[in-house]
Amino acid sequence: MVWRVLVVFAMWGALAAAVAGAPQRPVLIVGDSLSAAYNMPEAAGWVSLLEDRLAEATATPPKVINASISGETTAGGLSRLPALLETHQPGVVVIELGGNDGLRGLAPGQVRDNLDRMIALGGEAGAKVVLVGIDIPPNYGAAYRERFRAVFSDLAQTHSVALLPFFLEGVALEAGMMQSDGIHPTAAAQPRLLENIWPLLAEVLELEAEVEVTGS
């Protein structure tokens, strides 16, 4: 009889935790200067804004780990990812890399191989992956740009992962949205970057489902 009572209480406790919204595994951002709040206060960057948005969207927001480094390449991200996965055990991995590879004229095949391995490592660690696409300036030539941009769409299809085709949509070439170097977004552009990626993150985090449960 006693063990039956204990089982009932254990089941009730598990159900209560589920309804209340159990803490989710962290969101890991592995990016470059676009995610590292380059040349602005860290609190102004889109990743910090994401933390605020998550706190508003759910009673149990996941922790956000920003492992982005200005100047980072896909090779650098790949070399760091295994340790990051082991340390943080994320539920979602956002890969925002490739821009610096493109600016250096690296072969798209090499960029693809690095990102391919990063996506695979994230999946093997039990995390959902969000791949963030980027473009490069027209002066790199139409053929190179086409091959470079195709890397992201091809990988997303191959691995069936969420893809944001162009992170700087509504930011690049817009007045007041880019710093003087023409490469890095301004602080004013950070809310737009968050809006660009938010629908994908909300989907993979299943925030709508959690709101329905907690609000019932």
pLDDT in tens, 131-188: 999 999 999 999 999 999 999 999 999 999 999 999 999 999 899 999 999 999 999 9
CA nearest neighbour of 90 among 35, 129, 48, 146: 129
In the chain, what are the domain boundaries? 25-215
Residues 204, 209: Cα–Cα separation, whole Å: 11
Single out the catalytic residue among 35, 88, 135, 184: 184
Q: How confident is the model at residue 124 (pLDDT cuts 50, 70, 90)?
A: very high
Is 88 noted as a catalytic residue in this protein? no
Single out the catalytic residue among 32, 33, 68, 135: 33
CA nearest neighbour of 100 among 27, 165, 35, 10: 35
- Fold classification of 25-215 is Rossmann fold (3.40.50)
Single out the catalytic residue among 113, 180, 181, 216: 181
Is 181 noted as a catalytic residue in this protein? yes
pLDDT in tens, 74-120: 999 999 999 999 999 999 999 999 999 999 999 999 999 999 999 99
